[in-house]
Structure 1
Amino acid sequence: MFDLILGDGYPYPYPEGLTEQEQDDLAASLAVEDMRLKGVVSVEWRFELTIEFVDRESYDAAKATTGWEAWDEGALLLSATLEGREGRGDIPALIVGDKAYCRWMIVKGKD
């Protein structure tokens, strides 16, 4: 079992017209860990990014926190919202509400 950690969450959509200093200040304020989704069993990126959870409690908590749509309710799979234009390079950002996350990590969960 793992935790999916989302970090470097910046405003979505990205504000236009920021000065270089404002962009630097925004970048400096980003948290390495902004959100932690617990109870992740697997992450698969094929045609979309899906996240499977170990139990209904973890699934429901992640769904409520992220607003992501169910990919398969019975299998406890969510489909992450991605946005290519908001990412870095060729990697799309994960969208949660009014934030775009460019950092995500999978770490061993604590039992």
Structure 2
Amino acid sequence: MHFDFVLGDGFPHPYPEGLSEEEQEEISSNLAVEDLRLKGVDSVEWRFEMTIQFVDRASYDDAKAATGWEAWDEAALILSIRLDGRDGRGAMPAIIVGDKAYCRWMLTA
């Protein structure tokens, strides 16, 4: 069985400083529940860092191209997920992809 790794609630990264309340509300009101979907995920592990393993080379290559994440173990098809604790919610750091900080992630079958 394999999964899709779905990212949503993507805020600008880094978050702009000095925005008015109206500008912040505009950003918040335009967040997508699903903004990026990575297919062919075998597992996600969060131990000392967060990693994601793929079931095949095509899924790994597609995800690497879409996210820019570095290889953690290329032979095992594992990427290191980029995190940023400054742009998260509470104790959960944001997942960084390009110029977005994602505060929502889920696995779907």
How would you bin the TM-score normalised by the shorter chain? Answer: over 0.9
What is the aligned length?
108
> Which runs of 4 or more aligned residues in structure 1 lie more than 3 Å from their structure 2 counterparts after TM superposition?
none
**Deviation at 1:5?**
0.3
Q: What corresponds to 2:95 in structure 1?
A: 94
Letter in 2 for 1:5: V
Deviation sequence 1:19-54 (CA, Å, 0-9, x none): 111111110001000000000000000000000000
CA distance in 1 between counterparts of 2:67 and 2:27 reads: 22
CA distance in 1 between counterparts of 2:104 and 2:20 reads: 23
Q: What corresponds to 1:71 in structure 2?
A: 72
CA distance in 2 between counterparts of 1:67 and 1:25 reads: 27
TM (norm. structure 1) is 0.96
Identity %: 70
CA distance in 1 between counterparts of 2:80 and 2:38 reads: 14
CA RMSD after TM alignment: 0.4
Q: What corresponds to 1:23 in structure 2?
A: 24
Letter in 2 for 1:102: C
CA distance in 1 between counterparts of 2:107 and 2:70 reads: 20
The unaligned stretches of length 5 or more in structure 1 are none
**Deviation at 1:65?**
0.3
CA distance in 2 between counterparts of 1:99 and 1:70 reads: 20
| 2:99 corresponds to 1:105 | no
**Deviation at 1:69?**
0.3
TM (norm. structure 2) is 0.98
